[in-house]
Amino acid sequence: MSGSWEAVIGLEVHAQLLTRTKLFCACATSFGAPPNTHVCPTCLGLPGALPALNGEAVRMAVRTALSLGCTIKEESRFARKNYFYPDLPKGYQISQFDEPFSEGGFVEYEVEESGERAKDAPPVVKRARLTRIHMEEDAGKNLHDLGGGSVVDLNRAGTPLVEIVGEPDLRTPAEAAGYLRALRDVLVFLGVNDGNLEEGSFRCDANVSIRPAGSSALGTRVELKNINSFRFVEKALAGEIARQKDVVESGGRVVQETRGWDEKTSSTFSLRSKETAQDYRYFPEPDLPPLHLDDAFVATLRASLAETPRVKRERFVAELGLSPYAARVLTQHPRVASFFEEAATLGRDAVAVANFIQSEVLRDVTTRGVDASFPVTPGQLVEILKLVSQGKISGKQAKELYAKAKGTTASPAALVADLGMSQVSDPAAIEAACAKVVADNAKQAEQYRAGKTGLFGFFVGQVMKATKGSANPQLVNETLKRLLGG
């Protein structure tokens, strides 16, 4: 029976724009600052204080919309969304409602097929349409059970957000997670959002319904609120889809409501039903004029857009010869991607650069939002790889050299000299080392000659051990083959 249902999912994402100041006042945006230290008459909603729109927030919102293929409306408007809650001191939120600044657009995303897909297979790329993107201000934060009571922190009140509303084009929890990841990547690479789900600067409400497979009508939807990790999005959606199937298959009817996700019980629970839903009594914000975005302004922003992460990934594969897997790893963060690109430009072998970053450098990289810090510079990395390609040091020594260069400004070439590190490429020295290993392991040599060729690696390993990893591996291979008669 369960095979006969299809899920329909549409996501609403709220993303905090990385402006220095709030959307309608000059207060600094802040996270983790002492409570209520970034507030003023405007964001406190004091009588007589007027909002003034933040130009940088508008530029970031428009760049977001352009990157996602949206149409920019020349005229849009802000509205008051009225509701009464302690974290909203004005008694209303300023948001765009029926006249948003952008419409349409799409998210191109990759789906992780569970398990089976080979690591290096090209990704499955899908597209989901967007309904609209609009700007709005964030609310403050209520904190409960602090010293026995509830308190409010208004530092976040008035922080600029874009709300990105998706069409109900997604069909599985895995697609929803892929869509969210792709959307977050686009925003983080644009530098307009820090992509932090845990801190709530990128948050998602997931709408989900089920319908008989093959049907084109939409079922009654349930909204899952504020899910703060990609893993939870998938789990919460899967749990909710299963619940809806149970309801319908046992003769019930799904009711339109808002539900939360309980990680402990792995199930969703009701927060509020349609009947208790708010009437927001929207009306145009009288304190702000309509927003005009003229063609020249939009064209300038369009010209400033960089490659999206997905296009970057495709280029790394097509032009630089990386595997799809490596391309994905190196575009996990904008600063990692630019570190790789800088090193690949300085060096001659992009694949070698990519391999070294993946095997050594990445584990020492720390990221914080859109920032990242690296243990070496692209220049130092390229210098290390150059020493390898010139045959001056072995691959193993390159890793040791990297470990020495970490956190310093030293030139790797100078370090090689200081450390007395150099690869043994002298045929006589290698011949002597190989001959000794063959003589010391006469039994294995006999077995090898009798056809147990799998032992070859053993001999290479012994020579490398004896030379502390400094022997030129190609020379070792050739010499051993000759001595063993392979």
In the complex, which residues of this chain contact ligand ADP (CB under 6 A)? 8-12, 165-168, 207-209, 218-219, 221
Which residue lies nearer to Zn ion by CB, 155 or 196? 155
Query: Which span sits near Zn ion by CB under 5 A: 36-44, 180-188, 205-213, 416-424?
Result: 36-44
Q: Using CB distances below 5 to 8 A depending on partner kind, what does residue 162 bind out of Zn ion, ligand ADP, none?
A: none
Considering the complex, what minimum distance in angstroms separates the CB of residue 21 from Zn ion?
Answer: 8
362 binds, among ligand ADP, Zn ion, none (CB under 5 to 8 A by kind): none
Residue 107 contact among ligand ADP, Zn ion, none, beta carbon within 5 to 8 Å by kind: none
Q: Does 40 bind Zn ion (CB under 5 A)?
A: yes
Whether 61 and 70 have beta carbons less than 8 Å apart is answered as: no
CB 88 to Zn ion: min, Å: 14
Residue 27 in the binding site for Zn ion (CB under 5 A): yes
Which of 76, 54, 62 minimizes the C-alpha distance to 105? 62
361 binds Zn ion (CB under 5 A): no
Helices 427-440 and 442-449 cross at an angle (nearest 10°) of: 90
| Angstrom distance (rounded) from CA 244 to CA 42 | 44
Instruction: Determine if 49 is a binding residue for Zn ion (CB under 5 A).
Output: no
Determine which residue in the list 8, 43, 135, 236 makes contact with Zn ion, applying CB under 5 A. Answer: 43
Rule CB under 5 A: say whether 337 interacts with Zn ion: no
> Any contact of residue 434 with Zn ion (CB under 5 A)?
no
- Is residue 400 a contact partner of residue 389, using CB atoms and an 8 Å limit? no
Q: Which of 25, 182, 337, 463 binds Zn ion (CB under 5 A)?
A: 25
Q: Which partner from the list ligand ADP, Zn ion, none does 167 bind, CB cut-off 5 to 8 Å by kind?
A: ligand ADP
**Residue 234 CB, nearest approach to ligand ADP (Å):** 16
* Residue 165 binding: pick among ligand ADP, Zn ion, none (C-beta 5-8 Å cut-off by kind): ligand ADP
In the bound complex, what is the minimum distance in angstroms from residue 168's beta carbon to ligand ADP? 4
Nearer to ligand ADP, 108 or 240 (CB): 240
Query: Rounded distance, CA 458 to CA 439, Å?
Result: 14
β-pairing, 160-166 vs 124-137, is antiparallel
Residue pair 107/68 in contact by the 8 Å Cβ criterion: yes
**Cβ-proximal residue to ligand ADP, closest one:** 10
- Taking the complex as a whole, how short is the minimal distance between the CB of residue 239 and ligand ADP, in angstroms? 16
Contact 439/446 with Cβ under 8 angstroms? no
Q: Kindly state the smallest distance separating residue 66's Cβ from ligand ADP, in Å.
A: 21
User: Which residue, among 344, 276, 358, 278, has the nearest Cα to 315 in the 3D structure?
Assistant: 344
| Shortest spacing between CB 95 and Zn ion, in angstroms | 17
Tokens 């001959």 -> residue: 435
Minimum distance of ligand ADP from residue 192's CB (angstroms): 20
SS3 readout for 368-392: ECCEEECCCCHHHHHHHHHHHHCCC
Residue 27 interacting entry, from Zn ion, ligand ADP, none, C-beta within 5 to 8 Å by type: Zn ion
Q: Which amino acid does the sequence have at 235?
A: K
Residue 43 contact partner, candidates ligand ADP, Zn ion, none, CB within 5 to 8 A by sort of partner? Zn ion
- Mention every residue, 6+ apart, whose C-beta is less than 8 A from residue 109: 125, 126, 127, 128, 175, 178, 179, 181, 182, 183
Residues in the chain: 486
CB 222 within 8 A of CB 258: yes
The CA distance from 361 to 384, in Å, is 12
| Helix ranges, 319-377 (H) | 324-330, 334-346, 350-356
- Which residues of the chain form contacts with Zn ion (CB under 5 A)? 25, 27, 40, 42-43
